[in-house]
Chains A and B, each alone.
Chain A
């Protein structure tokens, strides 16, 4: 079973392959940062360099400490707690948002899988709406993770499908097929990342460390399913619309020049909840669950329905199946 790949090949931080040098550039910068901070505080008492307020100085210090932090995957628990505290404080100071950022890890014995019923989907795009709200997607660039394709009955052909339909649905003689990140068991996007900013978690979710991503967009090119999104400009979400329940690897604030993607709503699913798209679907076309639980709904669908995946010949082993009634 494809899900077992993850178990054989743990990608977590504890696998002993951490690439760290005894004293590297980051450590040196960190020491320097400490000096700068102390100096700034000392200067602040007598002759300030500029007319900066306490808040501005705090933002500057926090931003600097954020700039020189390491890759989330290799952080210790303390370092994770520190960066989360800084990010929550920065969200408050910069944008006036009261957010809670989790670092909840994968549950043991859980690999997530998804099934999409193409007989049921009516193309209402309520999943898209829920995804935007849940994951704090950029409103200015109108980023969407999910794409619903309107297809003629009898053919699955993405060249002839229409994803930008805007008419009353369901249309006569058409069916609807939604795509998003399929959380492949052998993800090509992870292989091409030159800096290790994206990886697969033990529960099968492929995540991005937005603060380690250099924005090269190799992963965007490598994904055969067009699942990744690049931030060409700083994402904008109105303060009153921000979802404050966030995860470091999920829906926290992104910035210009980094890649993001669907994480099966990691901030929800690791707490036992359904992804926002599955919860919002008014037709019940979306089935989500634990592939390792033989009595789960997703396993029942895989065992009893006619299922298929997209581009199976690529051997990416998507954990996202389509099925019919």
Chain B
């Protein structure tokens, strides 16, 4: 039953995306007007035009300059438009990248127990490594009555697009380095507006360490004097 409902939600989303003109965003009731206004901003060099951003309010970059965080999917490279066959689409919001979003299609108005096997099956893509290591519960980060919202310690709520505000509560050194430019990535340009990728664009929030990978192929030309073995 749950699988069916998730499937239906994904299909509904896919259709909604196709019909919604992609670049626009549906303004759900829980969004703040400020965040919604920020989304209409356009960006400068090259590919950044297609990426939606939000200003980062509590942190400043080098020299006290303000900067923005990109609202984008975790799977896209550098905020490029994406090509599906002959159709070119702008990059999507992070919330749109989540296959099971909106969470409220299942988690509506009733408390969900993760120990329930059916629930665990529905979320096989979520490996709760980070919560297990830190002893956190779902409700440590997610609002108990609406898992789509993040519960900050201040009592405020953040959307999934503002995830860095949640991460910053513990990983303050990383967020400071991110704001200054030594951690994380800047999108596309070294010049013009400074738009950074958000935490969850690289780190899976439930399993934040980067997975080991097989590297791209090794160089085939030997360096002289045996310097590369």
- A-side interface residues toward B, CB under 8 Å? 117, 120, 122-126, 128-129, 141-144, 147-149, 158-159, 161-170, 226, 269, 271-274, 279-284, 287-290, 294-301, 304-305, 323, 325
The smallest beta-carbon distance between B45 and chain A, in angstroms, is 4
B180 touches A300 (CB 8 A): yes
B190 touches A163 (CB 8 A): no
A226 touches B227 (CB 8 A): yes
A149 to B202, CA, bound (A): 23
A299 touches B62 (CB 8 A): yes
Enumerate chain B residues within 8 angstroms of A274, measured Cβ to Cβ: 186, 188-190
User: By CB atoms of chain A within 10 A, which of B64, B180, B224 has the most?
Assistant: B180
B219 touches A144 (CB 8 A): yes
Enumerate chain B residues within 8 angstroms of A290, measured Cβ to Cβ: 190-191
A287 touches B182 (CB 8 A): yes
Enumerate chain A residues within 8 angstroms of B78, measured Cβ to Cβ: 279-280
Interface size counted on chain B using CB atoms at 8 A: 40
CB-CB under 8 A for A271 and B45, given A164-B218, A165-B218: yes
The smallest beta-carbon distance between A214 and chain B, in angstroms, is 21
B189 touches A304 (CB 8 A): no
Using CB atoms, name the residue of chain A closest to B173: A325
A300 touches B221 (CB 8 A): no
The smallest beta-carbon distance between A225 and chain B, in angstroms, is 11
CB-CB under 8 A for A280 and B77, given A273-B190, A289-B190: yes
Question: What 3 A-B pairs have minimum CB-CB distances, sorted nearest first?
Answer: A297-B181, A295-B63, A272-B191
- When each residue 16-60 of chain B gets 1 if its CB lies under 8 Å from chain A and 0 otherwise, what string results? 000000000000000000000000000011100000000000000
Q: Does B65 contact A (CB under 8 A)?
A: yes
- B-side interface residues toward A, CB under 8 Å? 44-46, 61-65, 77-78, 177, 180-186, 188-192, 202, 210, 212-221, 223-224, 227-229
The smallest beta-carbon distance between B10 and chain A, in angstroms, is 26
Enumerate chain A residues within 8 angstroms of B63, measured Cβ to Cβ: 294-295
A162 to B223, CA, bound (A): 11
Enumerate chain B residues within 8 angstroms of A273, measured Cβ to Cβ: 45-46, 188-191
A282 to B76, CA, bound (A): 11
Enumerate chain A residues within 8 angstroms of B213, measured Cβ to Cβ: 122, 124, 168-169
Interface of A is mostly: loop
- B182 interface neighbour in A129, A143, A305, Cβ under 8 Å: A305
Using CB atoms, name the residue of chain A closest to B47: A273
- A165 interface neighbour in B64, B65, B215, Cβ under 8 Å: B215
Using CB atoms, name the residue of chain B closest to A220: B224
A162 touches B221 (CB 8 A): no
Enumerate chain B residues within 8 angstroms of A294, measured Cβ to Cβ: 63
- A166 interface neighbour in B46, B185, B217, B221, Cβ under 8 Å: B217
The smallest beta-carbon distance between B61 and chain A, in angstroms, is 7
A147 to B210, CA, bound (A): 21
A298 to B61, CA, bound (A): 12
User: By CB atoms of chain A within 10 A, which of B61, B65, B186 has the most?
Assistant: B186
9 contacts between A and B (CB under 8 A): A120-B183, A122-B210, A163-B223, A164-B228, A167-B214, A168-B213, A283-B202, A284-B202, A300-B181
User: By CB atoms of chain A within 10 A, which of B45, B61, B182, B186 has the most?
Assistant: B182
Enumerate chain A residues within 8 angstroms of B189, measured Cβ to Cβ: 272-274
A284 to B180, CA, bound (A): 13
Using CB atoms, name the residue of chain B closest to A107: B191
CB-CB under 8 A for A128 and B180, given A273-B189, A279-B78: no
Enumerate chain A residues within 8 angstroms of B191, measured Cβ to Cβ: 272-273, 290
The smallest beta-carbon distance between B186 and chain A, in angstroms, is 7
Using CB atoms, name the residue of chain B closest to A283: B210
